[in-house]
């Protein structure tokens, strides 16, 4: 059930709840229609393109549902597309097709937002400002402009009222996640926790100040690399709702014909771009998390320009070490080590079938570890590994899932430039660097320092904790709390069985001693020799018999009636 503290939010957003439930019912009804054999009924509900909903796949209907529900749900779908370990490969691929194009705000609204945020009239801020946007996404829209100094810039302006709408939708989604927790099939996917994580990500995207800081950090990391171009954020013309940055005018990666006509070495660009991402991931632990073709442009001289830094990934040193260990375990065909690392990185369920999981991992290693380097399918390997984890209920941390999605997208974008591109060939030098860095004196010293700090902290806390435990034992206040999971139903059945037995035994005695009031008081016995039957004893026996049968049925339904005890 929904928690009591959630009721005010339901009342507050009752109109939005009604809209969402209406759309969910509309697309959910298509499941029932699809099972009917009446074509007229099947074709009653139509998708926006005119196709019958019942003839679409379940994944396509989910995508259409999110599209119809608006920007917040589109963003949610895009985030879910990075989590094939949660929603599965088919749905993740379908959600990756979500387009976040939304109607642009009117020019007067844009002018008002910019002037209010920056505190000056638009004409005093920019020499030119195109009020008609060049693109409009779910959170904001992008406008071309020119500074007073003559520099060309782009200005990202947040949609009017989008923050309140996103917060309203997130409240509704939190309520839906609580409902999903009550469904046993959905509970292992932790809908409340995952929804909370995605809600935090969405709220971060509403703050353009985060993207501004990301731009500054990436610009600082690659300031000495002339082959990479990252937009420079103009802090004096930026706020949490308005972001002004350099305009990077290049040829999109998807325009392969224009790239060839401009003399761009596509193979060189593909290798250089992949190398750039390897450096971000394995050296800096801070990477641009959305390398799809629309976010990468090529400038003259094979210079790579990256756009849209609203979504970035971070991996700490310990997580990088785990990922490096996974790669080495695959290369060395070390299945036990790979199983151990996966369980350490992910969240394995208590009922994990260790043998079946190890067999699946062994099959995975046997299939991919023997592939030639120039033909290694990184996307296929990552996708198969994700499916294995999902099949066994292992949940990945959000950042690891984002990294996997980034690598899969990166390989697809690179192969768009160069069809014979191999991401594993680019990763191979970094694998050697990983081995050298793993045993470098600097890294070992850092690990020893971290270990020393943890031991020092333990040494400070441990004596005090031991003294507290001894004092509690001495004063008789030391309690041990045991959590008996699943014991309640067993105890209830045991008590009911004892009561049923006692009732049957007592009723039998009443029948034997013919305790009044009695039935059949005739001198001659009736059927089967029955006479002088105690009414209370008869009722008790019948009741105990019915309760006993009901108890046996409940135990049998639970599946534990004939279950053998494993030795």
Q: 219-232: per-residue pLDDT in tens? A: 999 989 999 999 99
Quick one: pLDDT at residue 565? 45
The answer to whether residues 149 and 244 touch, using CB atoms and an 8 Å cutoff, is no
Quick one: pLDDT at residue 213? 93
Give the torsion through C-alpha atoms of 270, 272, 273, 274, to 10 deg: 80
DSSP letter string, 131-170: SS-SEE-SSEEEEEEE-TTS-EEEEEEEPTTHHHHHHHHH
Quick one: pLDDT at residue 129? 95
Quick one: pLDDT at residue 229? 93
Rounded-to-integer distance, Cα 282 and Cα 300, Å: 28
Quick one: pLDDT at residue 53? 61
Structure token pair of residue 4? 């009591």
Q: How many other CB atoms are found less than 10 A from the CB of residue 21?
A: 13
Q: Give, in degrees to the nearest 5, the angle at Cα 185 between 379 and 364.
A: 30
Q: What is the pLDDT of residues 180-213, one digit of tens each?
A: 777 766 676 677 887 888 888 888 888 899 999 9
C-alpha distances in Å from residue 281, one per residue of 100, 233, 275: 27, 23, 10
**DSSP H helices in 372-417:** 378-391, 398-417
The predicted model scores a pTM of 0.68
Residue that the structure tokens 């972001």 belong to: 243
Give 481's contacts (C-beta < 8 A, 6+ positions apart): none
Q: How does DSSP classify residue 442? A: H
Which residues in 491-521 are b (16+ Cβ under 10 Å) and which e?
Answer: eeeeeeeeebeebbeebeebbeeebeebeee
Q: Which residue ranges in the chain fall short of pLDDT 50?
A: 1-2, 4, 7, 38, 41, 565-567
Give 519's contacts (C-beta < 8 A, 6+ positions apart): 532, 533, 535, 538
Inter-residue long-range contacts of 257-263, CB under 8 Å, 24+ positions, other chains counted? 259/298, 259/417, 262/298, 262/300
Give 437's contacts (C-beta < 8 A, 6+ positions apart): 443
Quick one: pLDDT at residue 4? 46
Cα 362 to chain centroid distance, Å, stands at 26
- Tell the burial category of 75 from Cβ atoms under 10 Å away from its Cβ (0-12, 13-18, 19+): buried
């Amino acid at each position: 059930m929904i928690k009591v503290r959630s009721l005010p939010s339901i009342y507050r957003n009752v109109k939005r709840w009604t809209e969402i439930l209406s759309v969910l019912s509309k697309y959910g009804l298509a499941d029932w229609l699809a099972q009917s054999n009446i074509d007229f009924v099947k074709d009653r509900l139509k998708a926006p393109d005119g196709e019958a909903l019942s003839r679409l796949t379940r994944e396509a209907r989910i995508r259409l549902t999110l599209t119809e529900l608006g920007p917040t749900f589109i963003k949610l779908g895009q985030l879910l597309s990075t989590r094939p370990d949660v929603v599965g490969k088919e749905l993740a691929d379908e959600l990756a097709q979500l387009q976040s194009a939304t109607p642009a705000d009117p020019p007067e609204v844009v002018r008002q937002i910019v002037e209010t945020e920056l505190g000056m009239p638009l004409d005093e801020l920019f020499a030119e400002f195109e009020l008609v946007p060049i693109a409009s996404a779910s959170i904001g829209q992008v406008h071309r402009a020119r500074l007073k100094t003559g520099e060309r810039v782009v200005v990202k302006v947040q949609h009017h009222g989008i923050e309140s709408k996103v917060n309203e939708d997130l409240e509704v989604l939190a309520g839906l996640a609580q409902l999903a927790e009550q469904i046993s099939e959905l509970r292992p996917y932790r809908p409340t926790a995952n929804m909370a994580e995605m809600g935090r990500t969405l709220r971060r995207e509403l703050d353009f100040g985060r993207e501004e800081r990301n731009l500054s950090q990436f610009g600082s990391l690659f300031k000495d690399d002339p082959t990479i171009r990252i937009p420079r954020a103009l802090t004096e013309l930026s706020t949490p709702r308005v972001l002004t940055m350099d305009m990077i005018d290049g040829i999109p990666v998807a325009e392969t014909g224009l790239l060839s006509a401009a003399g761009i070495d596509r193979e060189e660009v593909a290798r250089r771009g992949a190398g750039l991402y390897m450096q971000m991931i394995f050296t800096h632990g801070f990477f641009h998390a959305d390398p799809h073709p629309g976010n990468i442009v090529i400038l003259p001289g094979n210079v790579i320009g990256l756009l849209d830094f609203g979504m970035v990934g971070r991996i700490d040193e310990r997580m990088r070490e785990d990922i490096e260990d996974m790669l080495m375990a695959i290369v060395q065909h070390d299945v036990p080590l790979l199983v151990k690392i996966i369980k350490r990185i992910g969240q394995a369920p208590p009922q994990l079938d260790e043998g079946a999981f190890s067999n699946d991992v062994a099959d995975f290693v046997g299939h991919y570890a023997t592939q030639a380097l120039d033909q290694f399918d990184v996307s296929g390997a990552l996708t198969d590994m994700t499916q294995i984890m999902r099949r066994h209920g292992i949940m990945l941390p959000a950042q690891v899932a984002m990294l996997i999605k980034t690598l899969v997208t990166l390989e697809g974008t690179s192969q768009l430039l160069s069809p014979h591109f191999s991401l594993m060939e680019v990763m191979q030098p970094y694998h050697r660097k990983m081995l050298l860095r793993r045993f470098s004196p600097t890294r070992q010293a850092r690990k020893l320092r971290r270990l020393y700090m943890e031991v020092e902290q333990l040494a400070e806390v441990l004596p005090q904790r031991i003294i507290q435990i001894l004092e509690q034992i001495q004063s008789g206040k030391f309690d041990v709390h045991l959590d008996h999971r699943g014991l309640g139903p067993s105890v209830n059945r045991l008590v009911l069985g004892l009561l049923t037995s006692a009732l049957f035994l007592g009723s039998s005695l009443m029948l034997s001693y013919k305790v009044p009031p009695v039935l059949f008081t005739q001198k001659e016995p009736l059927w089967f020799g029955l006479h002088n039957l105690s009414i209370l004893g008869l009722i008790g026996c019948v009741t105990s018999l019915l309760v006993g049968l009901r108890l046996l049925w409940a135990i049998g339904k639970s599946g534990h009636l004939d279950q053998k005890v494993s030795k």
